[in-house]
Amino acid sequence: MTKRAYNFNAGPAALPLEVLERAQAEFVDFHNTGMSIMEMSHRGKVYEGVHNEAITRLLSLLGNPEGYKVLFLQGGASTQFAMIPMNFLSEGKVAAYVHSGSWADKAIKEAKLLGETTVLASSAADKFMTIPNLSDVVIPENAAYVHITSNETIEGTQYQTYPETGNVPLIVDMSSDILSRKLDITQFDLIYAGAQKNLGPSGVTIVIAKEELLNESPKGVPSMLRYDTHLSNNSLYNTPPAFSVYMVNEVLKWVEEQGGIEGVEANNRKKASLIYDTIDNSDGFYRGPVDLASRSIMNITFRLTSEELENKFIKESEQEGFVGLKGHRSVGGLRASIYNAVPYDSCKALTDFMVRFQKDNG
């Protein structure tokens, strides 16, 4: 390998180079067992040690909130879209959702298949370029839960503050910004996140939730789709994605080495400011469509004056080693996903390219 790509993929996304190198060194022979961790039994002490270490490390980074449990599940966040109403939306209750963009929309559609669902607020009128205003939202008395999507990867929006839901459980899809900034985890009753953006490779989905919420799933829900099945078996009811869990543990070690979530957040905000400043100071050559108060520090979306120019930007950036800058097919434009593992130097290289491109094409 002569040079690492400037990886701005939206997911699966960049992993820390240090983590990849550690995994490479341990891949064939894990801890002198004569086996890769992918070859060993998930019932054995060696794998269970890694499994439990990852759980302990994640809770520690989150401040060891009392009464919370971690589950390692499969099927991505998309399976959680269905599991949540299957487990929590009982007869006579309504599932309350905030519609903030593409991923919230997918969650809402799944819930509607399983029970009564209402949309508390939506930013559709703003083409999802803002986070919905929740100041005047009235939560139904019979709400089973309130569901939000903390960061919309496609549109490039992110919650800056979270709603107060009182006694109604607050559930959040945090797939694309988990561990990116300091949060009070006790604000949430359940957090779920696909690992493939900030936590590790694809294959494992993390659920962090209050134990009381996970304890009793409806008896008619199939075993593999019941939270209490996985809680009572420490996420070892069936064969877990062992290598993905191992990689999550290694990424969590890396987060600790960066100074914890506080250190990671400081770097993320520095990276985001660098790129947003380049957009905002371009005299209109680059345009950030997202409302300033809703901008994501994980997924930076921007446009040029024409699709032709955007296509030229993509082509020339790829020639210089940049990957993943094309916007999602549903919205077009350009997008730089700058998750935790994307180095500041990659963001600096991107802004240098953006300045050169403007000079040549402005």
SS3 content of the chain, % helix, strand, coil (to 5): 40, 15, 45
Query: Does domain 260-361 fall into CATH 3.90.1150.10?
Result: yes
pLDDT at 3: 87
pLDDT at 216: 86
pLDDT at 23: 98
CATH code linked to domain 18-257: 3.40.640.10
pTM summary value: 0.97
Tell me which amino acid residue 301 is.
Answer: T
Alpha carbons 146 and 322: distance in angstroms, whole number: 39
The pLDDT averaged over each successive group of 10 residues in the chain (362 residues) is 89 98 97 96 97 98 98 98 98 98 98 98 98 94 98 98 96 98 97 98 98 95 98 98 98 98 98 98 98 98 97 98 96 97 98 98 94
Alpha carbons 195 and 203: distance in angstroms, whole number: 7
Nearest Cα to Cα of residue 52 among 38, 63, 65, 42: 42
Are residues 170 and 53 in contact, defined by beta-carbon separation less than 8 angstroms? no
Alpha carbons 265 and 270: distance in angstroms, whole number: 8
Catalytic positions are 103, 173, 197
Q: What Å distances lie between residue 148 and 50, 159, 168, 214, 339, CA to CA?
A: 31, 9, 13, 19, 20
